[in-house]
């Protein structure tokens, strides 16, 4: 089996918890940098044979904080980028509701045909993420692969690798600097950890 360490980037400077940022190259906040460091400390003793990251800076910086302890270079992959929200990029949910009420109706019903104006549809996003899956086929069953990307990307990868229907992607929570672990087998995947942020506990309480 190939072991996948699926990581979401750390917190960013532009209120990512409230606004929808996809293609915009948002940098990590100071909190996000600390989160990435803690994740790097957690994974320093883990075996990692290869590192893949979205080509957006928030993912690359998070990946570098982990890869540095393993003396590994990362491979950046545009297939792992977050969805392109088009005209919705950078808006809050309330702002989207006011400007694009028809879009919100589809989105609220988790319709996979939702198409963001001048951006991507969820189906297009999914097809792009699935293409990344072919990169994993070259890895041997003994290897551990780190993938650092975005909330939407990680959720779609999990659906694809676990054989779940696409609409389930909205039913997963993937927090900043979270770790999920998936073991891939010839007949499917086994999820052993989901959205774990225990390495951030001291940041939240200290």
Catalytic, 123? Answer: no
Report residue 168 CA to chain centroid gap.
15
Catalytic, 9? Answer: yes
How far is Cα 139 from Cα 50, in angstroms, rounded to an integer? 9
Q: Output the six-digit token pair for 103.
A: 């879009």
Q: Output the six-digit token pair for 10.
A: 């750390």
How far is Cα 4 from Cα 64, in angstroms, rounded to an integer? 17
How far is Cα 154 from Cα 140, in angstroms, rounded to an integer? 21
How far is Cα 116 from Cα 45, in angstroms, rounded to an integer? 41
- Please tell me which residue in 9, 120, 150, 199 is annotated as part of the active site: 9
Helix, strand, or coil (residue 148): strand
Q: Are strands 2-8 and 179-185 parallel, antiparallel or unpaired?
A: antiparallel
Q: Output the six-digit token pair for 145.
A: 């692969």
- Please tell me which residue in 46, 73, 82, 167 is annotated as part of the active site: 82
How far is Cα 169 from Cα 151, in angstroms, rounded to an integer? 10
Active site residues: 9, 82
């Amino acid at each position: 089996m190939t072991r996948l360490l699926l990581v979401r980037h750390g917190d960013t400077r532009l209120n990512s918890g409230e606004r929808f940022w996809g293609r915009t190259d948002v940098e990590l906040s100071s909190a996000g940098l600390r989160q990435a460091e803690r994740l790097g400390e957690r994974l320093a003793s883990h075996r990692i044979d290869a590192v893949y990251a979205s080509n957006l800076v928030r993912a690359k910086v998070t990946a570098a904080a982990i890869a540095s302890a393993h003396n590994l270079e990362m491979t950046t992959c545009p297939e792992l980028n977050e969805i392109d929200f088009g005209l919705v990029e950078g808006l809050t949910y309330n702002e989207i509701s006011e400007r694009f009420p028809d879009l919100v109706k589809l989105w609220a019903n988790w319709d996979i045909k939702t198409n963001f104006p001048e951006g991507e549809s969820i189906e297009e996003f999914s097809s792009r993420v699935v293409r990344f899956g072919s990169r994993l086929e070259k890895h041997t069953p003994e290897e551990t692969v780190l993938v650092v990307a975005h909330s939407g990307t990680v959720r779609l990868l999990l659906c694809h690798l676990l054989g779940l229907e696409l609409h389930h992607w909205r039913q997963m929570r993937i927090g900043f600097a979270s770790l999920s672990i998936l073991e891939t087998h010839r007949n499917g995947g086994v999820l052993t950890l989901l959205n774990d942020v225990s390495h951030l506990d001291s940041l939240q309480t200290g």
